[in-house]
C-alpha cells in the first residue's frame, strides 16, 4: 500500500473519517428528499431527472473525498489508493465482479425489459441510467467508501493491529455502503439488491485491503454493475 512517512495513507485519518461521516449523512438526507423533489419535477424529461438524481447523490460523496484530501493535506492519488496499477488488479477485479454478480443472479435473477427501444425520452433516460450505473457510480462510490472511508478508518485504528484495523474498516464501510442502498430502496428491499450491495462491499473492501490499491475494487464494481445493467436492458 502506498503510505506516507508515518505509515499511513491518510496523514490525519480521523479528520478524514469525520468528513466521510458528514458526506454519508448528506447522502442520506438527499435520498430522503428525492421523492419530494420528484413530485416537483413530474413534467421534466426522465433523462434530465436522472441526471439531477445522479448529480445530487454523487456530489456529497465526491465532495467529501475532495474536502478530506484538502483538510488532511494529503496527495489525492496516494490517499485514496489510485497511484499504481497492476495486472493483478485487473484479474482480481474481474474475478470478484463476476463472482458477486453470479451470486446475485443465482438468488434473484435479473429480468430484462428491452428498455432500449421505445420513445426518445425513454431511450435517453435509459442511456443516462446506464452511464451512471456503469461509469459514474462505481467511481464515485469506490473513491468514497473504499478510498476515503475504509482506508482512513483502517489508518485510524492501526493501533489495534493492521489486520484487525483493516477488517473492521471493511465491515464498517460495507455496512454504511449497504445501509445507504437499502435506504434508497424504500420500504421494499429486493433480496438481490441487499445481497449485491453486501457482496460488492465486502469484495471491493477486501480487494482494497489486500492490494493496498483502489483499482481492483473499481474494476470489480464496474463489472458487477455493467453485467447487471446489460441483463436488465437486454
pLDDT in tens, 165-215: 999 999 999 999 999 999 999 889 999 999 999 999 999 999 999 999 999
Contacts of 32 (CB under 8 A, 6+ apart): 183
Report d(CA 183, CA 26) in Å as an integer: 13
- Say if 60 falls within a structural domain: yes
All residues at 6 or more sequence positions from 63 whose CB lies less than 8 Å from its CB, including other chains? 23
pLDDT at 8: 79
Rounded distance, CA 104 to CA 192, Å? 6
Owning domain of residue 212:
13-233
User: What pLDDT sits at residue 115?
Assistant: 55
**Residue 4 reports pLDDT greater than 80:** no
Work out how many domains the chain is built from and give that number: 1
Q: Does 102 fall in a domain?
A: yes
In a domain, 1, yes or no: no
For residue 3, tell me if it sits in a domain: no
Q: Has residue 18 been placed in a domain?
A: yes
Residue 2 lies in a domain: no
Q: Answer yes or no: is 220 within a domain.
A: yes
DSSP-assigned letter for residue 73: T
Lowest mean pLDDT across 81-90, 104-113, 208-217, 218-227: 104-113
pLDDT band of 2, cuts 50, 70, 90: very low
Where does residue 73 fall: left (phi above 0), alpha (psi -120 to 50 degrees), or beta otherwise? left
Q: Based on the number of CB atoms within 10 Å of its own CB, is 233 exposed (0-12), middle (13-18) or buried (19 or more)?
A: middle
Domain assignment present for residue 219? The answer is: yes
Amino acid at each position: 500500500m502506498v503510505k506516507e512517512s508515518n505509515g499511513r495513507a491518510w496523514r490525519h485519518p480521523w479528520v478524514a473519517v469525520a468528513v466521510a461521516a458528514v458526506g454519508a449523512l448528506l447522502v442520506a438526507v438527499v435520498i430522503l428528499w428525492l421523492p419530494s423533489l420528484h413530485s416537483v419535477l413530474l413534467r421534466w424529461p426522465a433523462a434530465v431527472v436522472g441526471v439531477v438524481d445522479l448529480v445530487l447523490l454523487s456530489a456529497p460523496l465526491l465532495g467529501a473525498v475532495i474536502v478530506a484530501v484538502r483538510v488532511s493535506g494529503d496527495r489525492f492519488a496516494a490517499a485514496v489508493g489510485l497511484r499504481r496499477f497492476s495486472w493483478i488488479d485487473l484479474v482480481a477485479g474481474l474475478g470478484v465482479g463476476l463472482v458477486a454478480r453470479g451470486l446475485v443472479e443465482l438468488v434473484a435473477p435479473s429480468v430484462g425489459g428491452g428498455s432500449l427501444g421505445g420513445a426518445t425520452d425513454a431511450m435517453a433516460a435509459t442511456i443516462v441510467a446506464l452511464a451512471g450505473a456503469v461509469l459514474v457510480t462505481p467511481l464515485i462510490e469506490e473513491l468514497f467508501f473504499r478510498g476515503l472511508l475504509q482506508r482512513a478508518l483502517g489508518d485510524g485504528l492501526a493501533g489495534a493491529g493492521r489486520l484487525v484495523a483493516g477488517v473492521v474498516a471493511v465491515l464498517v464501510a460495507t455496512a454504511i455502503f449497504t445501509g445507504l442502498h437499502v435506504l434508497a430502496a424504500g420500504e421494499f428491499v429486493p433480496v438481490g439488491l441487499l445481497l449485491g450491495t453486501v457482496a460488492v462491499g465486502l469484495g471491493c473492501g477486501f480487494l482494497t485491503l489486500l492490494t493496498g490499491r483502489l483499482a481492483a475494487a473499481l474494476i470489480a464494481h464496474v463489472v458487477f454493475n455493467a453485467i447487471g445493467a446489460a441483463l436488465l436492458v437486454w
